[in-house]
Chains A and B, each alone.
Chain A
Amino acid sequence: MTPSVRRVAVIGGNRIPFARSNGPYAHASNSDMLAAALDGLIERYNLQGEKIGEMAAGAVLKHPRDRDLTREVVLGSKLAPETPAFDVQQACGTGLEAVILIANKIALGQIDSGIAGGVDTTSDAPLALNDDLREILLDANRTPDTAGRLKLLTRLRPGMVVPAIPANEEPRTGLSMGEHCAIMASEWGITREAQDALTIRSHDHLAAAYDRGWQDDLMTSYLGLERDQNLRPGSTLEKLGKLKPVFGGPEGTMTAANSTPLSDGASTVLLASEEWAKARNLPILAYITESQTAAVDFVHKREGLLMAPAYAMPTMLDRAGLTLQDFDVYEIHEAFAAQVLCTLAAWEDPVFCKERLGRDKPLGSIDTEKMNINGGSLAAGHPFAATGGRIVAGLAKELSDRGSGRGVISICAAAGQGVVAILESAGGAK
Chain B
Amino acid sequence: MSQDLYTQIVNSPPGGFIAKRVGLPQPTTLDRYRPGQPLVSGTVLVGAAPGGRLAGAIAATLAAANAEVATTLDADLRSAAADAGLDASVFNPEAGGDRRFKALVFDATGISDSTELVELQKFFHPSVRKVQSSGRVVVLGTPPEDTKTPREHTAQRALEGFTRSLGKEIGKGSTVQLVYVAPGAEDLIGSTLRFFVSPKSAYVSGQVARVSAGLPVPADIDWEKPLAGKTALVTGASRGIGEAIIETLARDGANVVGLDIPQLGEDLKKVTDRLDGEAIELDITSDDAPKVIADFFKGRGVDIVVHNAGVTRDRTLAKMPEDRWQSVLDINLSSEERINDALLKAKAINAGGRIIGVSSMAGIAGNRGQTNYATSKAGVIGMVQSMAPVLAKSDITINAVAPGFIETQMTAAMPIAVREPGRRLNSMNQGGLPIDVAETIAWFASSGSTGLTGNVVRVCGQMLLGA
B90 and A189 form a contact (CB under 8 A): yes
B79 and A185 form a contact (CB under 8 A): no
Instruction: Determine the chain A residues whose CB is within 8 A of the CB of B13 once the complex forms.
Output: none
Instruction: Determine the chain A residues whose CB is within 8 A of the CB of B99 once the complex forms.
Output: 186
A350 and B81 form a contact (CB under 8 A): yes
- State how many angstroms separate the Cβ of B42 from the closest Cβ of chain A: 14
B97 and A350 form a contact (CB under 8 A): no
Secondary structure class of chain B's binding surface, majority of residues: mixed
| Closest chain A residue to B81, Cβ basis | A351
C-alpha gap A307/B368 in the complex (Å): 65
- State how many angstroms separate the Cβ of A178 from the closest Cβ of chain B: 13
| Closest chain A residue to B75, Cβ basis | A350
Instruction: Determine the chain B residues whose CB is within 8 A of the CB of A248 once the complex forms.
Output: 96-98
A355 and B97 form a contact (CB under 8 A): no
C-alpha gap A248/B98 in the complex (Å): 8
Instruction: Determine the chain A residues whose CB is within 8 A of the CB of B82 once the complex forms.
Output: 349-351, 353-355
C-alpha gap A192/B85 in the complex (Å): 30
C-alpha gap A195/B86 in the complex (Å): 28
A251 and B94 form a contact (CB under 8 A): no
Q: Would you give the 0/1 interface string for A367-393, flagging 1 where the beta carbon is closer than 8 Å to chain B? A: 000000000000000000000000000
Q: Which of B68-127 contact A (CB under 8 A)?
A: 70-71, 73, 78-79, 81-83, 85-92, 94-99
C-alpha gap A345/B71 in the complex (Å): 14
Instruction: Determine the chain A residues whose CB is within 8 A of the CB of B88 once the complex forms.
Output: 351
B86 and A355 form a contact (CB under 8 A): yes
B73 and A189 form a contact (CB under 8 A): yes
- State how many angstroms separate the Cβ of B66 from the closest Cβ of chain A: 13
- State how many angstroms separate the Cβ of B377 from the closest Cβ of chain A: 47
Instruction: Determine the chain B residues whose CB is within 8 A of the CB of A345 once the complex forms.
Output: 90
**Contact (A189, B95) CB under 8 Å given A350-B78, A353-B82:** yes
B95 and A185 form a contact (CB under 8 A): yes
| A27 in the interface (beta carbon within 8 A) | no
C-alpha gap A251/B81 in the complex (Å): 27
- State how many angstroms separate the Cβ of A118 from the closest Cβ of chain B: 32
- State how many angstroms separate the Cβ of B98 from the closest Cβ of chain A: 6
B86 and A192 form a contact (CB under 8 A): no
Instruction: Determine the chain A residues whose CB is within 8 A of the CB of B90 once the complex forms.
Output: 187-189, 345, 349
Instruction: Determine the chain A residues whose CB is within 8 A of the CB of B78 once the complex forms.
Output: 349-351
| Closest chain B residue to A188, Cβ basis | B90
A183 and B97 form a contact (CB under 8 A): yes
Number of interface residues of B (CB under 8 A): 22
Instruction: Determine the chain B residues whose CB is within 8 A of the CB of A355 once the complex forms.
Output: 82, 85-87
- State how many angstroms separate the Cβ of B207 from the closest Cβ of chain A: 31
C-alpha gap A251/B94 in the complex (Å): 9
Instruction: Determine the chain A residues whose CB is within 8 A of the CB of B91 once the complex forms.
Output: 189
- State how many angstroms separate the Cβ of B67 from the closest Cβ of chain A: 14
| Closest chain A residue to B99, Cβ basis | A186
B85 and A182 form a contact (CB under 8 A): no
C-alpha gap A355/B85 in the complex (Å): 6
- State how many angstroms separate the Cβ of B15 from the closest Cβ of chain A: 33
Q: Which of A188, A351, A353 contacts B95 (CB 8 A)?
A: A188
C-alpha gap A193/B92 in the complex (Å): 13
C-alpha gap A188/B92 in the complex (Å): 8
Q: How many A-B residue pairs have CB under 8 A?
A: 73
- State how many angstroms separate the Cβ of B400 from the closest Cβ of chain A: 40
> Most chain-B CB neighbours within 10 Å: which of A192, A248, A354?
A354
C-alpha gap A182/B95 in the complex (Å): 9
**Contact (A252, B86) CB under 8 Å given A189-B73, A349-B78:** no
B97 and A185 form a contact (CB under 8 A): yes
Instruction: Determine the chain B residues whose CB is within 8 A of the CB of A251 once the complex forms.
Output: 96-98
Instruction: Determine the chain A residues whose CB is within 8 A of the CB of B96 once the complex forms.
Output: 182, 185-186, 192, 245, 248-249, 251-253
Instruction: Determine the chain B residues whose CB is within 8 A of the CB of A192 once the complex forms.
Output: 94-96
**Contact (A191, B92) CB under 8 Å given A349-B78, A351-B86:** yes
B97 and A191 form a contact (CB under 8 A): no
Q: Which of B156-213 contact A (CB under 8 A)?
A: none
Secondary structure class of chain A's binding surface, majority of residues: helix
C-alpha gap A325/B78 in the complex (Å): 21
| A356 in the interface (beta carbon within 8 A) | yes
A187 and B97 form a contact (CB under 8 A): yes
Q: Which of A352-368 contact B (CB under 8 A)?
A: 353-356
Q: Which of B81, B87, B94 contacts A191 (CB 8 A)?
A: B94
Instruction: Determine the chain A residues whose CB is within 8 A of the CB of B89 once the complex forms.
Output: 187-188
Q: Which of B79, B92, B94 contacts A350 (CB 8 A)?
A: B79
Instruction: Determine the chain B residues whose CB is within 8 A of the CB of A350 once the complex forms.
Output: 78-79, 81-83
| A102 in the interface (beta carbon within 8 A) | no
| A38 in the interface (beta carbon within 8 A) | no
- State how many angstroms separate the Cβ of B97 from the closest Cβ of chain A: 2
| A85 in the interface (beta carbon within 8 A) | no
Q: Which of A239-263 contact B (CB under 8 A)?
A: 245, 248-249, 251-253
| A310 in the interface (beta carbon within 8 A) | no
| A190 in the interface (beta carbon within 8 A) | yes
| Closest chain A residue to B89, Cβ basis | A187
Instruction: Determine the chain B residues whose CB is within 8 A of the CB of A356 once the complex forms.
Output: 87
A189 and B81 form a contact (CB under 8 A): no
B87 and A351 form a contact (CB under 8 A): yes
C-alpha gap A349/B88 in the complex (Å): 10
C-alpha gap A349/B79 in the complex (Å): 8
- State how many angstroms separate the Cβ of B81 from the closest Cβ of chain A: 5
C-alpha gap A252/B89 in the complex (Å): 18
Instruction: Determine the chain B residues whose CB is within 8 A of the CB of A353 once the complex forms.
Output: 82
Instruction: Determine the chain B residues whose CB is within 8 A of the CB of A187 once the complex forms.
Output: 70, 89-90, 97
Instruction: Determine the chain A residues whose CB is within 8 A of the CB of B70 once the complex forms.
Output: 187
- State how many angstroms separate the Cβ of B95 from the closest Cβ of chain A: 5
**Contact (A182, B86) CB under 8 Å given A189-B92, A190-B92:** no
Instruction: Determine the chain B residues whose CB is within 8 A of the CB of A193 once the complex forms.
Output: 94
**Contact (A190, B81) CB under 8 Å given A355-B86, A355-B87:** no
C-alpha gap A192/B94 in the complex (Å): 8
| Closest chain A residue to B97, Cβ basis | A186
A354 and B95 form a contact (CB under 8 A): no
C-alpha gap A182/B85 in the complex (Å): 26
- State how many angstroms separate the Cβ of A233 from the closest Cβ of chain B: 27
Instruction: Determine the chain A residues whose CB is within 8 A of the CB of B95 once the complex forms.
Output: 185-186, 188-192, 253
- State how many angstroms separate the Cβ of A413 from the closest Cβ of chain B: 22
- State how many angstroms separate the Cβ of B52 from the closest Cβ of chain A: 17
C-alpha gap A252/B95 in the complex (Å): 8
C-alpha gap A249/B95 in the complex (Å): 12
| Closest chain A residue to B88, Cβ basis | A351
Instruction: Determine the chain B residues whose CB is within 8 A of the CB of A183 once the complex forms.
Output: 97
C-alpha gap A189/B81 in the complex (Å): 16
Instruction: Given contact pairs A186-B95, A191-B95, A253-B97, enumerate 18 new A-B contacts (beta carbons under 8 Å).
Output: A182-B96, A187-B90, A188-B90, A188-B95, A193-B94, A251-B96, A252-B96, A253-B95, A345-B90, A349-B90, A350-B81, A350-B83, A351-B82, A351-B86, A351-B87, A354-B82, A354-B85, A355-B85
5 closest Cβ pairs, A-B complex: A186-B97, A189-B92, A350-B82, A355-B87, A189-B90
Q: B residues touching A (Cβ–Cβ < 8 Å)?
A: 70-71, 73, 78-79, 81-83, 85-92, 94-99
Q: 10 pairs across A/B with beta carbons < 8 Å?
A: A183-B97, A189-B92, A191-B92, A251-B98, A349-B82, A350-B81, A351-B78, A351-B87, A354-B85, A355-B86
